[in-house]
């Protein structure tokens, strides 16, 4: 799970699973700064009640970025537009400066990883995340108690 940590508050942006955590985190940072992920403005990113899913739906229906959504990747050459937008660059630098990741090793990775990924995404609320490619969880939330302690809300 990664996101930003500002003033002691953690705002998760992505939940995933991997066998190689350091390699995958490097890929996420590269992908985010290279234009592969949705980019919101800083106030949206640090809004505990953000609804990125609705923002994306609004964009899909109107072909115009809604307030708070700075960038939505639509193709492999979108990264050419990133350096031309100072607000996007500010947000990318904000994420790099405040980037925070946490993870937990699973002893039964092959059997539990997809369920735990889905459970964590569901508990955080999928609408708050910059990706929605998570499978369904099994509603067994014992694993995610460690993560929920980051932000008692």
The CB-based long-range contact list for 14-22 (8 Å cut-off, 24+ gap) reads 14/129, 14/130, 14/131, 15/117, 15/120, 15/121, 15/124, 15/129, 15/134, 16/117, 16/131, 17/109, 17/113, 17/114, 17/116, 17/117, 19/109, 21/103
Q: What percent of the chain has pLDDT over 90?
A: 41
pLDDT of residue 62 exceeding 70: yes
State mean pLDDT over 34-61: 90
pLDDT value of position 107 = 73
pLDDT of residue 53 exceeding 70: yes
Report pLDDT digits (tens) over 122-135. 888 889 998 766 66
pLDDT value of position 113 = 77
């Amino acid at each position: 799970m990664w996101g930003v940590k500002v003033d002691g508050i953690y705002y998760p942006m992505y939940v995933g699973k991997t066998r190689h955590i350091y390699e995958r985190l490097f890929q996420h940072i590269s992908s985010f700064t290279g234009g592969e992920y949705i980019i919101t403005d800083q106030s949206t990113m640090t809004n505990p009640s953000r609804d990125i899913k609705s923002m994306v739906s609004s964009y899909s229906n109107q072909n115009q970025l809604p307030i708070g959504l700075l960038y939505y990747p639509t193709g492999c050459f979108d990264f050419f537009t990133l350096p031309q937008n100072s607000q996007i660059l500010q947000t990318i630098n904000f994420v790099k400066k405040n980037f925070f990741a946490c993870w937990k090793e699973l002893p039964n990775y092959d059997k539990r990883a997809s369920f735990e990924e889905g459970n964590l995404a569901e508990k955080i609320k999928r609408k708050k995340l910059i990706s929605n490619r998570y499978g369904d969880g099994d509603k067994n939330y014992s694993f995610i108690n460690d993560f929920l302690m980051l932000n008692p809300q």
